Amino acid sequence: MENYIVSARKYRPMTFDSVVGQAALTTTLKNAVKSGKLAHAYLFCGPRGVGKTTCARIFAKAINCENPSADGEACNQCESCKSFNEGRSYNIFELDAASNNSVENIKSLMEQTQIPPQTGKYKVFIIDEVHMLSQAAFNAFLKTLEEPPAHVIFILATTEKHKILPTIISRCQIYDFERMTVSEIINHLKMVAQKESISYEEEALNVIAEKADGGMRDALSIFDQAASFCQGNITYRKVLEDLNVLDSDNYFRITDLALQNKVPDIMLLFNSVIEKGFDGGNMMNGLASHMRNVLMAKNPETLPLLEVSEQQRLKYSEQAQKCPATFLYKALQILNSCDINYRQSSNKRLLAELTLIQVAQITQPEDEDVPGAGRSPKRLKSLFKNLIVSQPQAASRVVAAEKPIARPTKAARHRDAVPTPSATPQPVEDTAANSKPVLKLGAIGMTFKDILRGPDKPDYAKDKEEEQPAPDEQHAFTQDELELQWIAMCNRMPRQYTGLAQRMKNMTPVITNYPNVEIVADNPLLLDDIKQIEGRIHATLSRGLHNSDMKLSIRLAKPEEVKKILTKREVFDEIRKKNTAIEKLRNALNLELT
């Protein structure tokens, strides 16, 4: 039985013209051979399977060819070419730096550079995967690379250019190899299939080319695998089954269903894909690529950007005529967000399903409250509106709880001010019971402005808006009533004023010249804070005291007016001095203040 050779080795290019997808680089190398202007070091870098080592071997053979062709190709007839093709050349050395990366290996190689070639013009050293060399090996190689003998040429190949020392890179001519396009890989696979007498479907070769991700070696390996599975007849369905690749028809169906807003059908299709063993994240990425291809197919100018077969290109063009551009833009944005959040999600399937639902709602007609592809800002307000309408009794309880003490009417206050011996108690009018209760968002401790502003930023603008004058009343008030209204006001202050309210409770407003009220602040910081809400304090006190003539003044305390803040021990000592009974009780029970 004849020994089997894989296609990647059997159909490895032997000339520059047979190299696929690197026309610019091969032309440059052939021109260098023709002109004889050769550098002493070359660096071939690029992804795997794109022809770096192959081009290095072809270039090394062409350099030592005794009779190169007019276009710079090796003749394959001279002794140097024959010895290279048969693997017995003494002028071309290959070193795998992945397994020979020590400084001893490099020193041994450098010793060989001192020996001139026995036949041919140059000694060529091909070092593959050069980025795997150790730091000491790079240092040992550096001096020889900088000033090699005239008969030595180095060709370095790597897939990770960024790992090579800049001092090495600066001494080489750099050739960057590109990934091969899908069409180039398909054409090469067709040539191999014809030589191997293998029948194929072009869609099947397209799947193989996309799976190879720009590498010809990977494409040939997948081709051999598919040919073995399909037994010489490579079909689209068998390739999908062999490579476990999701059929692109699923993406076309999802897009069509999304345009029709058929969410249940999309969910059933997604479930069938998951049951076949495919990952939801891969499907989301595939759908995103599909949407991108449909977007490219909408414009004839961007149609060449599709790296697909001609049959697939026609299908994309047909679907692009159905899809509005706005739908594709929004779908790409939603799918990109899913890709960003997929790894961090604890429920990946739910995230994928929600993404598909959002895509299916993009073209849904908008109503008054909820747009098709997003959430309306009116939703929260309408929710509160429905809550208030559906629960009027709860609202009245909130109002009642907010006003636990009924305020006497004006007539009742007049009777209290002028008492008579025959006066009898009159019932207090409950104004809350006769009026329809109204619930405001401020009653539950938070408004939308509070949400936007944040919990730690007082709304001084709101304070100025609420500086409403008291009704035109001149009810007389006492110092005790003033202090009572002051404490009540501090207790009712909003949450953002909690710290200020606690400090204000330690202050006592004083009636200086009735109805003038004076507030004395202990320090400038407290004075500034109170000044910010001075108008609201005045309005609150005047309404609470039922006196619109009340005047409010705020000033900074004089040094002699500042009272020392006593500790608990000092407060207790003051109480003992004023009340001897407490001291006797303490001695009797042997109590100590902790």
Residues 6+ apart with CB under 8 A from 400: 432, 437
- Do 472 and 592 lie in one domain? The reply is no
| Phi then psi dihedrals of residue 156, to 5 deg | -105, 140
- pLDDT of residue 374 exceeding 70, the answer is no
244 SS3 class: coil
Domain assignment present for residue 509? The answer is: yes
Residue whose tokens read 């002493």: 40
pLDDT of residue 385: 45
Domain assignment present for residue 370? The answer is: no
- Do 31 and 158 lie in one domain? The reply is yes
Q: What is the dihedral of CA 128, 133, 139, 140, to 10 degrees?
A: -70
Provide the β-strand partners of residue 513.
516
Domain assignment present for residue 365? The answer is: no
- Do 304 and 394 lie in one domain? The reply is no
Strands (E) located in 227-351: 233-234
Share of the chain above pLDDT 90, in %: 16
- pLDDT of residue 332 exceeding 90, the answer is yes
- Domain final position from 196, 219, 243: 243
Report the alpha-carbon distance of residue 22 to residue 185 in Å, rounded. Answer: 12
What is the CB-side half-sphere exposure of residue 582 using CA atoms within 13 A?
Answer: 11
Domain assignment present for residue 453? The answer is: no
Residue 428: pLDDT band by 50, 70, 90 thresholds?
A: very low
CB 53 within 8 A of CB 157: yes
Share of the chain above pLDDT 70, in %: 81
Residue whose tokens read 């050739």: 175
Contacts within 8 Å (CB) and 24+ apart, 11-14: 11/192, 11/195, 11/220, 12/54, 13/51, 13/54, 13/58, 14/58, 14/76, 14/85
Nearest CA among 140, 150, 139, 147 for reference residue 110: 140
Q: What is the pLDDT of residues 346-371, one digit of tens each?
A: 898 999 999 999 999 998 876 544 44
CB 189 within 8 A of CB 157: no
Domain assignment present for residue 423? The answer is: no
Query: Residue 190's domain is classified under what CATH number?
Result: 1.10.8.60
State the average pLDDT for the chain: 79
Report the alpha-carbon distance of residue 127 to residue 155 in Å, rounded. Answer: 6
pLDDT of residue 360: 92
- Do 18 and 142 lie in one domain? The reply is yes
Nearest CA among 90, 88, 76 for reference residue 17: 76
- Do 160 and 16 lie in one domain? The reply is yes
Residue type (1 letter), 237: R
- Do 588 and 527 lie in one domain? The reply is no
**Structural domain that includes position 493:** 460-561
The model's pTM is 0.55
pLDDT of residue 233: 86
CB 311 within 8 A of CB 203: yes
pLDDT of residue 367: 52
Do the bridges between strand 551-556 and strand 123-128 make them parallel or antiparallel, or are there none, so unpaired? unpaired
Nearest CA among 439, 469, 438 for reference residue 543: 469
- pLDDT of residue 521 exceeding 60, the answer is yes
Q: How many CB atoms lie within 10 A of CB 189?
A: 27
- pLDDT of residue 402 exceeding 70, the answer is no
Q: Which of 151-160, 231-240, 494-503 has the highest mean pLDDT?
A: 151-160
Domain assignment present for residue 424? The answer is: no
- Do 583 and 547 lie in one domain? The reply is no
Q: End-to-end CA distance of the chain, in Å? A: 101
pLDDT-wise least confident of 100-104, 486-490, 557-561: 557-561
Q: How many CB atoms lie within 10 A of CB 497?
A: 18
- Do 88 and 233 lie in one domain? The reply is no
520 SS3 class: strand
- pLDDT of residue 416 exceeding 60, the answer is no
Report the alpha-carbon distance of residue 199 to residue 389 in Å, rounded. Answer: 73
Q: In Å, how far from its chain's centre is CA 250? A: 27
Mean pLDDT score, 126-141: 88
Q: In Å, how far from its chain's centre is CA 403? A: 49
Mean pLDDT score, 324-335: 92
Q: How many CB atoms lie within 10 A of CB 168?
A: 20
Q: Which of 169-178, 297-306, 407-416 has the highest mean pLDDT?
A: 169-178
Nearest CA among 154, 146, 168 for reference residue 123: 154
- Do 46 and 77 lie in one domain? The reply is yes
pLDDT of residue 444: 46
Nearest CA among 482, 529, 467, 466 for reference residue 503: 529
- Do 94 and 166 lie in one domain? The reply is yes
Mean pLDDT score, 167-186: 89
CB 15 within 8 A of CB 55: no
- pLDDT of residue 13 exceeding 60, the answer is yes
pLDDT-wise least confident of 60-74, 139-153, 358-372: 358-372
Read off the tokens for 297: 């197919």
Residue 335: pLDDT band by 50, 70, 90 thresholds?
A: very high
- Domain final position from 148, 176, 204: 176
Query: Residue 328's domain is classified under what CATH number?
Result: 1.20.272.10
- pLDDT of residue 412 exceeding 60, the answer is no
Residues 6+ apart with CB under 8 A from 348: 280, 281, 342
- Do 492 and 539 lie in one domain? The reply is yes
- pLDDT of residue 445 exceeding 60, the answer is no
Report the alpha-carbon distance of residue 259 to residue 250 in Å, rounded. Answer: 14
CB 541 within 8 A of CB 552: yes
CB 61 within 8 A of CB 92: yes
Residues 6+ apart with CB under 8 A from 454: none
- pLDDT of residue 397 exceeding 50, the answer is no
Q: What is the pLDDT of residues 182-228, one digit of tens each?
A: 888 888 999 999 988 889 888 888 888 888 888 888 899 999 988 88
Domain assignment present for residue 2? The answer is: no
pLDDT of residue 174: 92
CB 70 within 8 A of CB 38: no
User: Count of domains in the chain?
Assistant: 6
- Do 156 and 15 lie in one domain? The reply is yes
pLDDT of residue 443: 44
CB 95 within 8 A of CB 128: yes
Output the CA angle 25-27-29, nearest 5 degrees: 70
Output the CA angle 78-82-83, nearest 5 degrees: 115
Query: Residue 535's domain is classified under what CATH number?
Result: 3.30.300.180
Domain assignment present for residue 375? The answer is: no
